[in-house]
Amino acid sequence: MAEGQFRSHTQSLRRPAGGREALPWRIRYDVLDIAERAGPHQARPHQHGDYEIIVALIGGYRCFLNQVELNIAPGDLIAIKPGDWHQDHCLASVRFAALRFTALPRQDHDTSAMLLRHDLNPLAQVIAPAGERLLAILDDVRAAQEHPGPFAAGILDCLTLRFVWEMLRRFPVACIAEDLATEADIAGDGQAITKLIDERLDDPPTPAELAAALGISPRTLTARCRAAFAESPARFILRRRLERAREDIIQTGMPVVDAAKSWGFHDPFHFSRAYKRCFGVPPTRHRIGGQGP
Is residue 16 a part of any domain in this protein? no
Examine the pLDDT at 166 and tell me if it is beyond 90.
yes
Beta strand extents in 73-151 (DSSP E only): 77-80, 85-90, 94-104, 126-127
CATH number at residue 47: 2.60.120.10
Measured from the Cβ of residue 191, the count of other Cβ atoms closer than 10 Å reads 14
Is residue 63 a part of any domain in this protein? yes
Examine the pLDDT at 36 and tell me if it is beyond 60.
yes
DSSP designation for 128: S
Is residue 21 a part of any domain in this protein? no
Is residue 108 a part of any domain in this protein? yes
Examine the pLDDT at 154 and tell me if it is beyond 90.
yes
**Judgement on whether residues 204 and 165 belong to the same structural domain of the protein:** no
Domain end call among 151, 175, 199 = 175
- Residue (of 123, 121, 155) closest to 29 by Cα position: 155
Is residue 273 a part of any domain in this protein? yes
**Judgement on whether residues 128 and 213 belong to the same structural domain of the protein:** no
Res 158: pLDDT:
95
Q: How confident is the model at residue 192 (pLDDT cuts 50, 70, 90)?
A: confident
**Judgement on whether residues 48 and 188 belong to the same structural domain of the protein:** no
Q: Can you tell me the mean pLDDT for 23-28?
A: 79
Examine the pLDDT at 97 and tell me if it is beyond 80.
yes
Is residue 138 a part of any domain in this protein? yes
Examine the pLDDT at 17 and tell me if it is beyond 70.
no
Mean pLDDT, the chain, integer: 87
Spatial contact of 108 and 162, defined as CB atoms under 8 Å apart: no
| DSSP percent split of the chain into helix, strand, coil, nearest 5 | 45, 20, 35
Measured from the Cβ of residue 214, the count of other Cβ atoms closer than 10 Å reads 15
**Judgement on whether residues 252 and 184 belong to the same structural domain of the protein:** yes
CATH number at residue 203: 1.10.10.60
Q: Can you tell me the mean pLDDT for 52-56?
A: 97
Host domain of residue 270: 177-293
**Judgement on whether residues 160 and 58 belong to the same structural domain of the protein:** yes
Is residue 10 a part of any domain in this protein? no
Domain end call among 149, 175, 201 = 175
Res 292: pLDDT:
45
**Judgement on whether residues 107 and 61 belong to the same structural domain of the protein:** yes
The count of structural domains within the chain is 2
Q: Can you tell me the mean pLDDT for 198-209?
A: 87
**Judgement on whether residues 57 and 30 belong to the same structural domain of the protein:** yes
Examine the pLDDT at 50 and tell me if it is beyond 60.
yes
With 0-12 / 13-18 / 19 or more C-beta atoms within 10 angstroms meaning exposed / middle / buried, residue 179 is exposed
Domain end call among 175, 196, 228 = 175
Higher pLDDT, 108 or 169: 169
Examine the pLDDT at 150 and tell me if it is beyond 70.
yes
